[in-house]
Structure 1
Amino acid sequence: MKKLFKFVGFASFIGIFYFGFTTYPKLDLISGFSAKSIASGHFIDNRSQQMIEKGDNDIDMIDLAKNKIDDAGKFADASVYGLKERKAIYREGLGATLINDDFDVTKPYEVPKRTKSNNNLPFPYGNNEPKDTVFSTIDYTKLNAAVANAFDKTTEIKKRTRSILVIYKDKIIAEKYDSGFDKNSKILGWSMTKSITSALFGILQKQGKYDIDDSAPIPEWANDKRKLITTSDLLHMNSGLQWVEDYKTICDATKMLFQAEDMTRVQLEKPAEIKPNMRWNYSSGTTNLLSGILRKQFKTHQEYLDFWYSALIDKIGMNSMVVETDMAGNYVGSSYGWATTRDWSKFGLLYLHKGNWNGEQILDESWIKYTTTPTNTSNGRYGGHFWLNASGHFPDVPRDMYYCSGFQGQMVAIIPSLDLVIVRMGLTEEPEFDFNGMLKGIVGSLEKN
């Protein structure tokens, strides 16, 4: 019996040691992700805690978190086995922010000023419902089958598509939503927000207020080899700076998103490993650094907050969009943009029309060309904060397709040669979800054109 007790005691010790060594360091990130996800989904899109836990938080280890929503206080908190409790607060206009114990929730804060168009135009250039349009060149049976095939059948939890929207020649030709979602549902675009951040530099460049080919305006880099890094290098993700982005481990990206107070400084403080323009290395830290650079282009924080909406988001009628901020008040341009599926499609249409929005040139055509030109270190896969199909990553889709892409399979695909924009929002990505198959089916329905 004593031997049994010793064995059980030893096994328990080993179990506790293993937990402490492998899991405990992750608890802060697990509870942080969960609290932030619960707060954002609930307060931005009015989802129930159960719906968020079953969908957005149905990720390995994240589902270990125990969550609680306080509607009166407008916050959510989470912990794992009662350990590492984290809180995310919601503020109208700024979304949800994951905070630490040092954050002063009583401190006044500024919010972006929003404007909403009241014109009587139909979608996409107004807020009225789109006009029904039937194209004789489209095989609608084939189109609808391709869209339906991207969704799970009643008993499946595999493809996990939440919405698909197909726009051809500015007209919606297919639109479908999963149960619990509709045209008014705001969905997190994750890294599709990077493309929004990029567009803002294009707007500043068009206004003659910024030159992306100049060295990045960062005083901390002035006296070392990082001074050679241009804003264009940052937009191309080939700055040569140290960065690790691997969401299966504790890495630079996860520590930034779930622990940093000022996310704009995390990449800024990293050393250069090689010369710029020599290696492509995907980095959410780089995009948040760019958000910080944008902040420095304005005299006040209020101007910075307003610019994202007045110059781009509200300008093209993406009125549902909310870009969330970090504890320091900076937009998390790498990851935290929420919008309806229809509003995400408007961003795609802006690029499809070479920066023109209903007659107003918001981005120069040259910016679209810049965005879609492959950086020389990405094997044709990446341009100016957009993904590309130049190398045929999707073999059955036109090579001129380029797209915004986000964690869990968010996509806004732009295919200029077909006058087509396709949006897919969901919870699965490659290889679990067959993007090539979905795109192939939709494109194939236009073959009669």
Structure 2
Amino acid sequence: MNPFSPFLILFSVLLIASCEGPAEANISEDNENYSAQEATADKAEPGFWKNPNEIYVSTEWPMDDDDLKIWEVPKLEKALIDPAPAERNDGLSVGELGVDGGDKDMIVKVAEEIADSQHGNIDSLLIAHKGKLLFESYYSNGRLNLTHPQASATKTYTSLALGRAIQLGYLTMEDLDKPVISFLDDLDPSKFVEGAERVTLHHALTMRTGIRINDEQREEFENNPDQVKRQKFVQAIFELSAPITEESQSSFAYGNYASALVMQVIDAVVPSGAEEFVKNELLSKLDITTYRWLSEFGLPAGGWKSSFTSRDMMKFGLLAANKGKWNGEQLVSEAYIIKATSQILSTGDDDIYGGGKDVSNAGYGYFWWSADLKSGDKTYQTPNAQGGGGQFIILVDELDIVIVSTAGMRSPKSLQLAAERILPAFVQ
């Protein structure tokens, strides 16, 4: 199972090749003052922060030069390790590791090992418990105040946007079983391949559309993005796909076309269109003000091309962990969140991304992965967002913790690290 884009392989190679050795740990010895220093990218090329707080609907394929500059951010000389994150008026509640939960010594030891490059090239690790951010750390290319490419973790954010549309009444849970094409008016079904009407939102969200596009057709999409903008993209894939059958829909086929279809439906059903809806009804509601989200097929990319800070990744995680509530408001449908983070189908135990000896029973919900993490004598079912290169948002409901990590490598062991080293610090 290799769900991630070839572009990310290049990114990871560039990032790993630029490593200059392990960073030192930088943790205050004063137990009353663990506030992390502000991390900056003063050596990054000018233009890296061109127009933050934008969803880019004008940039098509491939990603532009600005998006490659994340790899030009200099390595941190000292890791930033903070067991008492500062209040930054960004919508996150904060606390202190060890005081508000968790074993501080155990977590700090893991952080120091990460700083010493004992767990691969991790860029950040954050932990929240009972709704409070208790630990935050940055290494290598990670920065507190700079965004990090999300890759396929973007699919999870698209899923949350769909759940927001359901909460506001633009869609219902019953609509998830309706054909994707039934929501789109600018199509000519007479040209569709057989079985196009079989593809429901449920199929798209679980990566079982049954759509099959060959490599030559895929290259045509990539080389001529202006010809497949907005619903022209949907028209094209339903014309070019092999016939869609019960058999073709029986297998899990990971990719970005399914998430692009979901974004097309969001765009069609909300009055403002997908771009404004995502900005105003999801990101702004979470006090997310610094990000990049590029476009694909004329809309915000449903499956990749977003970039968020690690703290904002934590907000997405806490929103899901709290069953769609944020600051007392039900932002995302609770019924949808429960369904989305459940294990709707099994993807097997072979080559679990981020896995190891204590990770098993991998599965998939609505653009959320899941896996069982074994810690001691117990096993914890953990929904998680995953992005190629090592982006994770891990929910452990039974322990009321959310773990966020970012990285710049193809084979992170973040789920295994969580099972083996982080969960034990929160088990009473």
* Structure-1-length-normalised TM-score: 0.66
After alignment, is 348-357 or 267-276 more displaced?
267-276
Matching residue within 105, 109, 117 for 1:141: 105
Residue 201 (structure 1) aligns with: 162
Equivalent runs, 1:210-229 vs 2, <5 Å: 210=171, 211-217=175-181, 218=184, 219-221=187-189, 224-229=194-199
Task: List structure 1 segments (4+ residues) > 6 angstroms apart after TM superposition.
Answer: 56-59, 89-92, 250-255
Whole-Å separation in 2 of the counterparts to 1:138 and 1:92: 34
Aligned to 1:294, which of 266, 276, 299? 266
Greater relative contact order structure (CA < 8 Å, 6+ sep): 2
1:360 alignment partner in structure 2: 329
| Aligned counterparts, 1:401-416, within 5 A | 401-416=382-397
Matched, 1:178 2:178: no
My pick for the range that moved more, 89-98 or 219-228, is 89-98
1:440 is displaced (CA, Å) by 2.4
The answer to whether the 8 A contact 1:200-1:312 is kept is yes
CA-to-partner distance for each residue in 1:113-146, whole Å, 9 max, x for gaps? xxxxxxxxx8598458835464365221111122
2:363 to 359, 377, 381: 381
**Which residue of structure 2 aligns with residue 304 of structure 1?**
274
Number of aligned pairs? 343
- Given that residues 125 and 358 in structure 1 are in contact (C-alpha distance below 8 angstroms), is that contact kept between their aligned partners in structure 2? no
Which residue of structure 1 lines up, in the alignment, with residue 252 of structure 2? 280
| Residues 336-355 of structure 1 mapped to structure 2, 5 A cutoff | 336-355=305-324
What are the superposed Cα offsets for residues 221-243 of structure 1, whole Å, 9 maximum, x if unpaired? Answer: 57631202211111011122215
Where does 1:50-449 land on structure 2 (aligned, <5 Å)?
Answer: 54-55=14-15, 93-95=54-56, 97-98=59-60, 126-127=90-91, 130-132=94-96, 134-135=98-99, 137-153=101-117, 159-210=120-171, 211-217=175-181, 218=184, 219-221=187-189, 224-242=194-212, 260-261=225-226, 262=228, 265=233, 267-268=237-238, 269-275=240-246, 277-298=249-270, 303-326=273-296, 329-376=298-345, 378-379=347-348, 381-389=363-371, 392=372, 394-396=373-375, 398-430=379-411, 433=413, 435-447=415-427, 449=428
User: 1:226-274 deviations in whole A, cap 9, x for unaligned?
Assistant: 2022111110111222157xxxxx7877876676444762654423443
Runs of 5+ in structure 2 lacking a partner? Answer: 1-5, 20-43, 63-85, 349-361
Q: In the aligned structure 1, how far is the partner of 2:121 from the partner of 2:346?
A: 33
Secondary structure in 2 aligned to 1:381? strand
* RMSD between superposed Cα atoms in Å: 3.7
Distance 1:325 1:446, change over 3 A: same
Q: Would the aligned equivalents of 2:123 and 2:138 in 1 still touch at CA under 8 Å?
A: yes
Whole-angstrom distance in 2 between the partners of 1:251 and 1:411: 32
Q: Is the 8 A contact 1:124 1:170 kept in 2?
A: no
1:150 and 1:438 in contact (8 A); partners too: no
One-letter code aligned to 1:304: A
Q: Is the 8 A contact 1:253 1:285 kept in 2?
A: no
| Whole-Å separation in 2 of the counterparts to 1:369 and 1:139 | 29
User: Where do 5+ consecutive residues of structure 1 fail to align?
Assistant: 1-28, 38-51, 60-68, 76-88, 101-121, 245-249
User: How high is the TM-score relative to the length of structure 2?
Assistant: 0.69
